[in-house]
Chain A
Amino acid sequence: MSGGLNVTALAVFCAFFLLVTVLGFFAANWRRGDLSQIGEWGLAGRRFGTLITWFLIGGDFYTAYTVIAVPAAVFGAGAAGFFALPYTILVYPFVFLTMPRLWNVAKKHDFVTPADFVQGRYGNRTLALVIAITGILATLPYIALQLVGMQVVIGAMGVGGSGLARDLPLIIAFIILAAYTYTSGLRAPAMIAFVKDIMIYLTVIVAVIVIPMKLGGFGHIFSAAQAAFDARPATAPKGAVILPPGGAWAFSTLALGSALAAFLYPHTITSVLASAKGNVVRRNAALLPAYTFLLGLIALLGFMAIAAGIKPSTPSMAIPALFLAMFPSWFVGFAFAAIAISALVPAAIMSIAAANLWTRNIYKAYLNPGATPQQESRHAKNVSLLVKIFALGFIVFLPTQYAINLQLLGGVWILQTFPTVICGLYTRWFHHTALTIGWLIAMALGTFAAFARGLTALYPLHLGGFSAVAYIAVEALVVNLVVAAILTPVFDRAGIKRGRDVTAADHYEDPPAPGTVIPTTPLGEPAAV
């Protein structure tokens, strides 16, 4: 890459950034609501229809870090990095089945966060607190990683220097982001998501048409990639164009574990709860794979970078470097703006989700139980600022690798809320103390396993004659479920009292269409087991 400042790219970049800034502040007036209420600020009043939800979840789930990290993984390892595609395919059948239930029960009881649901379902403060803390812990490094995505493209345009000068553009971008999230709440990222997604689609479609033409077609790209993998020194990790049989368990457990974890993150749940009804979520489960197709194309860019002979300083730089090598400056500016704006949408939603969790499940539950809705909303706004300042500090003052490692751990941690949250949507069979202990053991084991492997996602298992290298999050989840299942009858027999379940079986179902006569049912009956 050339060392100098890419003025054309930077000008185009800044113009688009300015556009979304104006949109972000304007969003406060969009579908006006009383933003001093947490449900309005933090969930935009649960009024988003199919189209807005499509853009919002698309903008929230396919982040800047994804756009950088997925092709970087393919660039580094080839086929093994492609698990992102089955992951983002399998997530939607799962969303289709589970998330409308969560939406219905949340609407019925005015739950804003997953931990609100856990409190209502199990009637246990400790378990709700545990779920809230896990959510916050998993989200903070994720916000920090969005900054990494931004940092990469800003750096690739030649904006550099040392110390504060290097970080200044990032700090400015984040102050702007913090300001409009504060004033507009979830409406800001929803509106910006429109611009972001259209820009990303354009960028990727142009890239997958133009770059293969320049490189002599996909057949040539793949043979060049295989040749490059073969030429790597024996000491380097081997890559492959076709997944070797030994990598199968890692591939499928990473895909499955990530798919099950994706909609346990507070920010994705926030996007789901902001939709207007359960069928909006279901319809989107069929429409969102359009983004998955796009992600697959983005992943292929990793092979194109190999075939183009890109030699990036770090794998994260592979895609920005490929764009710089292949496109005129003005398009590079457009593409980089698309990536940077991709960072803004999830970062805003993540900070809102983390702030909701803190406010509802720690501040209101423990510190100020008498908080009025206005106090809640004001508190959440302030915490959303704090969360972003924290994430910024993390990136500016600590090595980037810390954020990457923590986000990897975050994925392991968040999946450990599965038994409580997802199983809880279907059954009250599990005892809350059994779930808490299962969570604790799985969190400890998962963290330990990740550290034991030098902070990588995979841990080799040996059970009798069977051995496999698999995703730590899934291994820990199995332990989690087994512990919770064994301890549930133990605690019930020991007579440890269960909390009160405020939900009933029909709260999880779609409300009947207006005019439908339904048989009356007794209220407060425990949910079906």
Chain B
Amino acid sequence: MRSPQTRPKRRGWNWLLLLPFLGLLFPVTYAHAEPALFGLPFFYWYQFAWVIGSAIITGLVFAVTR
């Protein structure tokens, strides 16, 4: 192992990157029609929301660990 001073990165933040996997890999939890948004069933807008959510999480982890 290298000495920890070499890269003082806060690696613990990386665990946040698991959230999109938890949010998306169990479709039974979100395969519903209701509540719909702008005519889009929940199943679809939930996934679109995760596109943005995942990008924000990845960006956050980048910002705090760089």
A residues lining the B interface (CB < 8 Å)? 79, 82, 85-86, 89-90, 92-93, 96-97, 217-222, 241-245, 247-248, 251-252, 255-256, 279, 282-283, 285-287, 289-290, 292-293, 296, 300, 505-506, 509-510, 512, 518-519, 521, 528
Q: CB within 8 Å of A: which of B21-45? A: 21, 24-28, 31-33, 36, 38-41, 43-44
**Are A220 and B17 within 8 A (Cβ)?**
no
**Are A96 and B58 within 8 A (Cβ)?**
yes
Within the complex, what minimum Cβ distance (angstroms) separates A276 from chain B? Answer: 15
Please, which residues of chain A bring their CB within 8 A of the CB of B58?
A: 92-93, 96, 285-286, 289
- New contact pairs (10) apart from A279-B62, A512-B7, CB-CB < 8 Å: A92-B55, A97-B14, A217-B38, A219-B39, A242-B33, A247-B27, A256-B25, A286-B58, A289-B58, A296-B44
**Are A282 and B27 within 8 A (Cβ)?**
no
Complexed CA–CA distance, A101 and B41 (Å): 39
**Are B47 and A79 within 8 A (Cβ)?**
no
Q: Contact partner of A518 among B1, B6, B54, CB < 8 A? A: B6
Q: List 11 A-B contacts (CB under 8 A).
A: A82-B44, A86-B50, A93-B20, A96-B61, A97-B17, A242-B41, A243-B31, A248-B26, A287-B55, A296-B47, A509-B2
Please, which residues of chain B bring their CB within 8 A of the CB of A285?
A: 58, 62
Within the complex, what minimum Cβ distance (angstroms) separates B47 from chain A? Answer: 5
**Are A82 and B33 within 8 A (Cβ)?**
no
Please, which residues of chain A bring their CB within 8 A of the CB of B40?
A: 218, 222
Is residue B12 contacting chain A, with contact meaning CB distance below 8 A? no
Interface string of B44-66 (1 = CB under 8 A from A): 10011011101101110110001
**Are B50 and A89 within 8 A (Cβ)?**
yes
Q: How many residues of B contact A (CB 8 A)?
A: 39
**Are B31 and A86 within 8 A (Cβ)?**
no
Please, which residues of chain A bring their CB within 8 A of the CB of B21?
A: 90, 93, 256
Residue of B nearest to A252 (CB): B25
Within the complex, what minimum Cβ distance (angstroms) separates A461 from chain B? Answer: 17
Complexed CA–CA distance, A85 and B47 (Å): 7
Complexed CA–CA distance, A292 and B47 (Å): 11
Given known A-B contacts A218-B40, A242-B33, A285-B58, A512 and B27 have beta carbons under 8 A apart: no
Given known A-B contacts A97-B14, A292-B51, A296-B47, A89 and B62 have beta carbons under 8 A apart: no
Given known A-B contacts A89-B51, A242-B32, A242-B43, A519 and B6 have beta carbons under 8 A apart: yes
Within the complex, what minimum Cβ distance (angstroms) separates B20 from chain A? Answer: 6
Interface centre among A242, A251, A292 (most CB of B within 10 A): A242
Please, which residues of chain A bring their CB within 8 A of the CB of B28?
A: 245, 248
Residue of A nearest to B34 (CB): A242
B residues lining the A interface (CB < 8 Å)? 1-3, 5-7, 14, 17-18, 20-21, 24-28, 31-33, 36, 38-41, 43-44, 47-48, 50-52, 54-55, 57-59, 61-62, 66
Given known A-B contacts A252-B25, A505-B1, A96 and B17 have beta carbons under 8 A apart: yes
Residue of B nearest to A300 (CB): B44
Complexed CA–CA distance, A218 and B48 (Å): 15
Within the complex, what minimum Cβ distance (angstroms) separates B54 from chain A? Answer: 5
Shortest beta-carbon contacts, A-B, top 8: A218-B39, A219-B39, A286-B59, A93-B17, A289-B55, A243-B31, A86-B24, A286-B58
Please, which residues of chain A bring their CB within 8 A of the CB of B6?
A: 506, 509, 512, 518-519
Please, which residues of chain A bring their CB within 8 A of the CB of B48?
A: 85, 293, 296
B interface SS class: helix
Given known A-B contacts A92-B58, A521-B2, A241 and B47 have beta carbons under 8 A apart: no
Within the complex, what minimum Cβ distance (angstroms) separates B7 from chain A? Answer: 6
Residue of B nearest to A243 (CB): B31
Residue of A nearest to B65 (CB): A282
Q: Contact partner of A86 among B32, B47, B55, B61, CB < 8 A? A: B47
Interface centre among B5, B6, B51 (most CB of A within 10 A): B51
**Are A286 and B36 within 8 A (Cβ)?**
no
Please, which residues of chain A bring their CB within 8 A of the CB of B32?
A: 242
Within the complex, what minimum Cβ distance (angstroms) separates B41 from chain A? Answer: 6
Please, which residues of chain A bring their CB within 8 A of the CB of B52?
A: 289, 293
Please, which residues of chain A bring their CB within 8 A of the CB of B43?
A: 79, 82, 241-243
Please, which residues of chain B bring their CB within 8 A of the CB of A506?
A: 2, 6
Q: Contact partner of A252 among B2, B7, B17, B26, CB < 8 A? A: B26
Residue of B nearest to A289 (CB): B55
**Are A242 and B55 within 8 A (Cβ)?**
no
**Are A289 and B66 within 8 A (Cβ)?**
no
**Are B27 and A89 within 8 A (Cβ)?**
no
Complexed CA–CA distance, A97 and B11 (Å): 10
Complexed CA–CA distance, A441 and B5 (Å): 43
Please, which residues of chain B bring their CB within 8 A of the CB of A289?
A: 51-52, 54-55, 58
Complexed CA–CA distance, A243 and B47 (Å): 13
Within the complex, what minimum Cβ distance (angstroms) separates B29 from chain A? Answer: 9
Please, which residues of chain B bring their CB within 8 A of the CB of A97?
A: 14, 17
**Are A255 and B2 within 8 A (Cβ)?**
no
Given known A-B contacts A242-B33, A289-B54, A255 and B25 have beta carbons under 8 A apart: yes
**Are B41 and A252 within 8 A (Cβ)?**
no
